[in-house]
A and B are shown apart, each in its own frame.
Chain A
Amino acid sequence: AQSVTQLGSHVSVSEGALVLLRCNYSSSVPPYLFWYVQYPNQGLQLLLKYTSAATLVKGINGFEAEFKKSETSFHLTKPSAHMSDAAEYFCAVSEPLNAGGTSYGKLTFGQGTILTVHP
């Protein structure tokens, strides 16, 4: 079974500071990994995804994440936080469709991390 752990339900940074949101996963096969962002009362928007190509993945809004198999991690970073980055962020894992399993495209989400950006 897959699982995702996001360390820290709340992260607070100053504007211009580094953003680091942590995600560790558990999967029996090489996974697909995703980061989504959710603004209040809105749906989820995909930030970036890892699909077994480059281990350093660049996404929208200046975010990037690095897949580290040895650490089973997929942490999200941004060099300089902006006020507009304040939102809730979700890490998710999925089995590839060719893994022989019955994932049916299902994602397993972490509990989310609320990012607060202070002026």
Chain B
Amino acid sequence: SQTIHQWPATLVQPVGSPLSLECTVEGTSNPNLYWYRQAAGRGLQLLFYSVGIGQISSEVPQNLSASRPQDRQFILSSKKLLLSDSGFYLCAWVGLAAYNEQFFGPGTRLTVL
């Protein structure tokens, strides 16, 4: 069966510090991968998606970047965090045979102080 992992589960970082969030998927190959941010009361905002190694598409201009160094690994990064980067970050994957059904990881709660 497929599983998706995210770490860390929670993170408190000062403004201006770097960020690295990791997402890995097990039990599938060549998935499409997605990063979402969920700010309080604002639903889910798609940040990045990837259809393969090294292929990253950005949905909104922002202070963040993403990378996919391996087939089942998706990393969200920032060089300098802003207060507005606080939120709940969710990683998801979809297999092409699954009608675009996305499977979500447990999320990372990021607080920037």
Question: Which A residues form the contact surface with B (CB < 8 A)?
Answer: 9, 32, 34, 36, 41-46, 49, 51, 90, 94-97, 103-107, 109-112
Contact present for B100 and A103 (CB under 8 Å): yes
Complex interface residues of chain B between 2 and 50 (CB less than 8 A to chain A): 32, 34, 41-44, 46, 49
Residues of A within 8 Å of B42, CB to CB, are 111
User: What's the Cα separation between A42 and B6 when bound, in Å?
Assistant: 11
User: What's the Cα separation between A96 and B96 when bound, in Å?
Assistant: 10
Question: Which B residues form the contact surface with A (CB < 8 A)?
Answer: 32, 34, 41-44, 46, 49, 51, 57, 88, 90, 92, 94, 96, 99-107, 109
| Residue in chain A with minimal CB distance to B6 | A43
**Given A34-B102, A94-B99, 11 more contacts at CB 8 Å?**
A32-B99, A45-B104, A46-B101, A46-B102, A51-B99, A90-B44, A97-B96, A105-B102, A106-B49, A107-B46, A107-B100
Residues of A within 8 Å of B103, CB to CB, are 46
Contact present for A111 and B100 (CB under 8 Å): no
| Residue in chain A with minimal CB distance to B109 | A41
Contact present for B88 and A41 (CB under 8 Å): yes
User: What's the Cα separation between A112 and B42 when bound, in Å?
Assistant: 8
Contact present for A106 and B34 (CB under 8 Å): yes
Contact present for B107 and A41 (CB under 8 Å): yes
User: What's the Cα separation between A40 and B109 when bound, in Å?
Assistant: 11
* SS of A interface (majority): loop
Interface centre among B46, B90, B102 (most CB of A within 10 A): B102
User: What's the Cα separation between A36 and B101 when bound, in Å?
Assistant: 10
Residues of B within 8 Å of A51, CB to CB, are 99
Contact present for A34 and B43 (CB under 8 Å): no
| Residue in chain B with minimal CB distance to A95 | B100
Residues of B within 8 Å of A34, CB to CB, are 101-102
Assuming the contacts A34-B101, A43-B104, asked whether A105 and B43 have C-beta atoms less than 8 A apart, the reply is no
Contact present for B32 and A105 (CB under 8 Å): yes
Q: 19 A-B pairs, CB-CB below 8 angstroms?
A: A9-B41, A34-B102, A36-B104, A41-B88, A41-B109, A43-B90, A43-B106, A44-B90, A44-B104, A46-B102, A90-B43, A94-B99, A104-B57, A105-B49, A105-B102, A106-B34, A106-B49, A107-B100, A109-B44
